[in-house]
């Protein structure tokens, strides 16, 4: 059935059309009559019709004014205009508002019904359009969101349309990604994850989401890493009741809609850093405070100016000793190293380089070696050749056993590297220009000095270790 409202100031014509035409025979339900535009608007607010049949010349609010109001507020209503001879000026104004259906007075039932049948067809088309629009709108938003994240340029209108679905209208939000490399996520799985997550985070509506390269990415309300980690854990537990999938998760920093692409890149960095391991918990990009704390534990300037592998080993060993001195747990040390790795990558401009998987390192000594080798790779200071590779192994052993009082040529050559002692000594002097014992003693003295500066509340950032170590 199609609901019809008749608007005409002439009572005879209004009542005649209302009562003498058997509207239900034409699948039309008469929902009311009105004697002018203002009266019609009041009734439309209470019961919105599909079709409005209106006269042009009426007191208080004429037909053109009514059409204007409907075009602003009730754009889905199809308007049929009753017009008489000499009303061309009004008719042309109605055409400017897109009115396509007219009945010329005087008219009979056949003429009215013929035009009303055309109006019904237009109602059907509008219904189909809006049904399709409702079905496609979520996918259209997802596509806009995907383009925004991956760096495509959006028009101002597209951004404005998308902001309506962002938390805080796009002014402040975080990105949360869930990833499954094996099979990805079907659309219904993405929807379920978003629905569960939105409820747990107590968001007003289900979070905006999209799908990029095996990742479902949500725009969520700003919250702490700890609360978000708990929410993600609960979400995955609930999801696991329906689907069994290994899912890794990562969260960006807070930002507005203008930095969506940068926040998206943070997610990519985090997943690369742990090779998408699902047992790593929620990965969180380091905050500004965490990034700044790295300047206390790690001397970025010294590291960046390093031109030798042993200088890097020294700095990372020093950083580890700082962490050990304040009694951090292994998880806390890992978190700081993860933050350092991400910060360092941006610091040296190596964003395209694969980030180090610190999650698989199970000891402080291994962390020193792996992180140092990764930094050397970012700085392109690796040297080739069997002797250079052997020398790097020697240096790894020295700094992995830095506090071992039994550390000497005999111990390293016999128990670790299984090398001839004389050969070991020659290789060391040839590469380091110092005897092993002198190098180790000077390194330990310098390490003690640097640690003492830290404990005293300052560290001389201009002290030049490279000067005495190569002298």
Cα(371)–Cα(337) distance, integer angstroms: 9
Instruction: Report residue 180 as tokens.
Output: 């499954």
- Say which CATH number the domain at 36 has: 3.40.50.2300
Tell whether 299 and 448 lie within a shared domain. yes
Per-residue pLDDT, 352: 42
CA-CA-CA-CA torsion sign (323, 346, 218, 274)? negative
Per-residue pLDDT, 85: 60
Whether residue 57 lies inside any domain: the answer is: yes
Tell whether 33 and 77 lie within a shared domain. yes
The parent domain of residue 461 ranges over 290-470
Whether residue 275 lies inside any domain: the answer is: no
Q: 96: which residues sit within 8 A by CB, 6+ positions away?
A: none
Tell whether 104 and 156 lie within a shared domain. no
Tell whether 296 and 444 lie within a shared domain. yes
Whether residue 266 lies inside any domain: the answer is: no
Pairing of strands 208-212, 215-220: antiparallel
Tell whether 329 and 367 lie within a shared domain. yes
Instruction: Report residue 86 as tokens.
Output: 């000499």
Tell whether 115 and 206 lie within a shared domain. no
Per-residue pLDDT, 457: 53
Whether residue 271 lies inside any domain: the answer is: no
Cα(195)–Cα(198) distance, integer angstroms: 5
Whether residue 281 lies inside any domain: the answer is: no
Domain tally, the chain:
3
Tell whether 391 and 249 lie within a shared domain. no
Tell whether 107 and 215 lie within a shared domain. no
Nearest residue to 391 (alpha-carbon basis) of 278, 280, 308 = 308
Tell whether 157 and 13 lie within a shared domain. no
Tell whether 156 and 125 lie within a shared domain. no
Q: Is the pTM of this model over 0.85?
A: no
Place of tokens 């537990």: 237
Q: Which residues of the chain have pLDDT under 50?
A: 276, 351-353, 460-471
Domain end, chosen from 129, 160, 180, is at 129
- Say which CATH number the domain at 182 has: 3.30.70.3400
Cα(17)–Cα(11) distance, integer angstroms: 10
Per-residue pLDDT, 354: 54
Whether residue 273 lies inside any domain: the answer is: no
Cα(339)–Cα(266) distance, integer angstroms: 12
Tell whether 102 and 154 lie within a shared domain. no
Whether residue 157 lies inside any domain: the answer is: yes
Whether residue 124 lies inside any domain: the answer is: yes
Tell whether 191 and 333 lie within a shared domain. no
445 sits in the region (left: phi over 0; alpha: psi -120 to 50; else beta) called: alpha
């Amino acid at each position: 059935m199609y609901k019809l409202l008749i608007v005409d100031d002439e009572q005879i014509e209004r009542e005649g059309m209302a009562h003498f035409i058997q509207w239900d025979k034409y699948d039309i339900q008469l929902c009311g009559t009105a004697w002018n535009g203002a009266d019609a608007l009041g009734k439309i607010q209470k019961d919105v019709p599909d079709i409005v049949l209106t006269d042009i010349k009426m007191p208080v609010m004429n037909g053109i004014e009514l059409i204007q109001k409907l075009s602003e507020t009730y754009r889905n209503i199809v308007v049929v205009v009753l017009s008489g001879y000499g009303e061309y000026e009004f008719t042309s104004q109605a055409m400017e508002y897109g009115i396509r259906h007219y009945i010329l007075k005087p008219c009979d039932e056949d003429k009215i019904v013929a035009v009303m049948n055309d109006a019904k067809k237009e109602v059907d088309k509008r219904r189909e359009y809006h049904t399709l629009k409702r079905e496609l709108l979520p996918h259209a938003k997802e596509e806009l969101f995907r383009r925004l994240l991956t760096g495509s340029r959006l028009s101002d209108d597209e951004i404005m349309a998308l902001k309506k679905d962002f938390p805080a209208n796009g002014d402040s939000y975080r990105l949360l990604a869930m990833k499954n490399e094996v099979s990805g996520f079907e659309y219904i799985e993405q929807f379920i994850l978003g629905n569960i997550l939105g409820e747990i985070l107590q968001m007003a509506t289900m979070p905006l989401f999209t799908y990029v390269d095996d990742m479902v990415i949500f725009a969520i309300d700003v919250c702490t890493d700890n609360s978000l980690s708990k929410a993600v854990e609960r979400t995955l537990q609930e999801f696991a009741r329906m689907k069994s999938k290994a899912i890794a998760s990562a969260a960006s920093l807070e930002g507005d809609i203008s930095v969506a692409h940068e926040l998206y890149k943070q997610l990519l960095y985090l997943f690369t850093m742990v090779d998408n391991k699902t047992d790593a918990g929620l990965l969180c990009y380091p905050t500004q405070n965490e990034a700044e704390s790295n300047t206390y534990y790690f001397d970025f300037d010294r590291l960046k100016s390093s031109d030798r592998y042993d200088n890097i080993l020294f700095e990372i060993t020093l950083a580890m000793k700082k962490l050990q001195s304040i009694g951090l747990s292994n998880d806390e040390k890992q978190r700081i190293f993860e933050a350092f790795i991400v910060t360092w990558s941006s610091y040296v401009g190596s964003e395209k380089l694969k980030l180090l998987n610190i999650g698989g390192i199970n000891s402080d000594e291994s962390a020193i070696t792996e992180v140092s080798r990764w930094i050397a790779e970012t700085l392109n200071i690796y040297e080739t050749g069997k002797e250079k590779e052997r020398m790097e192994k020697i240096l790894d052993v020295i700094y992995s056993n830095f506090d071992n009082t039994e550390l000497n040529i005999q111990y390293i050559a016999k128990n670790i590297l299984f090398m001839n002692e004389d050969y070991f000594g020659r290789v060391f002097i040839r590469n380091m220009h110092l005897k092993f014992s002198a190098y180790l003693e000077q390194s330990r003295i310098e390490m003690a000095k640097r640690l003492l500066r830290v404990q005293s509340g300052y560290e001389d950032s201009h002290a030049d270790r490279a000067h005495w170590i190569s002298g």
